[in-house]
Chain A
């Protein structure tokens, strides 16, 4: 690798370690009596980052360090907030992070070598649908959406894994640059979206729907499908508003949270108060009151972060997510085969949509829907599967470089 790039990576790694040490030392002093748990957690976290960073560099010569470092930094910021909100969740999240990095490496490896065998898109569709049906049959309800599977003592959200299989399905179905059968494709996509809506995971339904739309547009460059799809989404939205009570509640809370602050509008009102409280530089770590916001550790972690790190910190986070999406698109541009390109685009769009949906939700740009903020929110499935998606992107990047080398030879 370029020595200049290497130097930049090393500097950012140092900055990251410094942010970690400083904030976790501060958090150690936050609770009385002095408790070094946050600090040990930080050491464990940074060890995983360093080991992951050098190990990927060692086994995959051209591993994309950009993705791993940026996502680890975001995970670190999320961990700082989690540790401040709830140390119990923090401990578990560090473990999830370690598993996530392991998945990143594994999946990069698999994507690099095994993806050459392309299964039929229908297979991926069946896998996606199965993953979404399972929680409907055996799942438990958590936070209003029935999308959790419980094995003894350990819960798993299959819709997170479905995101990956769905991206594979889209890439496989569209790899010839055109839709072989529009009615069939529309039915398959709407079935998946319908299953998500049945489990009351509306954020997920929206995410899958728009990802499918954008990937179809990228593959076929047909503006008519995009327009029809957009119109259809508006119709579905209006239908949802009248058919489902919880959609109505969400939308009313979005249009005017001040109407019913102690009730429906409570969460979003608290989130807005928290963000307002932060100002430019934030209240300072540990000095805000993010615990007033319901679900602050999962969906609303961004408002907690905005409160304590201020507008500047929150803007930095948004920019980092932009960079992540930028990198995904760059990988897509360097690839050669349609399947690979669409796969990279699918994963990147899924990320971008998810980030937009939840950050837009907590700042009241769009109605709140319960999706997680990748890397920052508390949640094992989300963390591990986000890293797995990055692993796919990294594996595709390896192949892009490999193919270019072949061309030179």
Chain B
């Protein structure tokens, strides 16, 4: 067990190294050096060269790579070409809004998924099941930005129930952590994007929950409980659901992985100042240091979640042995 974890850790480090290298080359093949964006601002030729020199982009590729690796290992992600702000500070600034939006989205999706998954399994073959599954799959099939557009048009523009986007009303000021994220006003801005996001993510954990429930319900102990005279509700919630949750937990890693990708669209449509928008902007501005670091961050999260899911899965499910890698 310990040696398995150790081996996987070593592998993960190698994986990360390759990812970093990949990112370096991926952004170097992008068309246009970062000064392309400056063309707009009447940048004289000499100044463009000066900018390239200031960022070390005039050096040969292998020197750039060496420097890049050295800085990465030291946790120095460089400074943004655009704003000249350290990339770490920039990411820190955009991370919190994303964590809040993604957290509430996934939490909401999981709660709905577990309830609906359990109930649809319980009422297997009923009309309710067909409708619930269809609706969940409908939202899973619809482009998230389209649902967002329609929801905004209807709920915000027509009915004025929700703000049309953003995280705060203008003029709230530069506040501390609690004043920023723990107000009713913030919640009001958070609700609609969270619902739209959750509607998208609900289907897969729900279906996993449902199949897992079906398997559990076939097992003997449910029958045993029935025989003991427990009410159906008690059986459903106390025994079946609890036992069926395991595969759903491992599903979380996958959902987070997906959510990180889908975040971009949600943030654009709802004007949410998060990592997704940072990554889109940095790509369109050829701001490699920022794009590299955000890609890396997303990669690290997904790779580690997969690692944890792998280990957890084996830990929770005794059928998996660690002998074979």
A and B associate: no
- Measuring CB to CB, which residues of chain A are less than 8 angstroms from any residue of chain B? none
Interface residues of B (CB under 8 A from A): none
